[in-house]
């Protein structure tokens, strides 16, 4: 089997739209890791906390919709947040499904003010 030269050129890394997006995503995650690590959070956990600080309680399904993640990804992430004491799980009064609530007394850290590497759209965008 021979491979066409044009096909090989089309497969060159610098011709792939997905690679710059992947590289940018990794860069952003590394910038956040430097700030979130000392807080005991990973970037995906931080995204869950942002949703909960904005509107709590949330079901795993609701979190998944907002973060574009499936429950297979979110469930272990949420379990680690519960084990670390960031969130508590409870039952919704309206359904038998588990809901999530941010832990009483847990406040959103003003990460943007703690570290200039965390981008913000404008002052005050991060919850307090």
pTM (whole model) above 0.85: no
Q: What is the DSSP secondary structure assignment for residue 106, as one 8-state letter?
A: -
If you count DSSP H runs as helices and E runs as strands, how many of each does the chain have, helices first?
6, 3
The CATH number corresponding to 5-114 among 1.10.10.10, 3.40.630.40, 3.20.20.140, 1.10.1060.10 equals 1.10.10.10
* Model pLDDT for residues 72-123, shown as the tens digit of each residue: 999 999 999 988 888 888 776 666 556 666 655 555 554 444 444 455 544 5
Domain coordinates in residue numbering, the chain: 5-114
In the structure encoding, which two tokens stand for residue 82, read together? 């519960």
Query: Could you give the CA distance from residue 78 to residue 82 in angstroms, rounded to a whole number?
Result: 6
Query: Could you give the CA distance from residue 39 to residue 37 in angstroms, rounded to a whole number?
Result: 5
In the structure encoding, which two tokens stand for residue 121, read together? 């759209």
């Amino acid at each position: 089997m021979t491979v066409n030269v044009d096909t090989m050129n089309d497969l060159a890394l610098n011709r792939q739209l997905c690679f710059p997006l992947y590289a940018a995503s990794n860069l952003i995650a590394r910038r956040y890791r430097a700030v979130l690590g000392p807080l005991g959070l990973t970037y995906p956990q931080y995204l869950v906390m942002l949703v909960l600080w904005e509107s709590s309680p949330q079901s795993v399904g609701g979190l998944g919709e907002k973060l574009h993640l499936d429950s297979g990804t979110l469930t272990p992430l949420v379990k680690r947040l519960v084990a670390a004491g960031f969130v508590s799980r409870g039952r919704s009064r309206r359904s038998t499904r588990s809901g999530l609530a941010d832990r009483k007394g847990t406040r959103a850290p003003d990460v943007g003010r703690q570290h200039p590497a965390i981008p913000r759209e404008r002052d005050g965008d991060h919850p307090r």
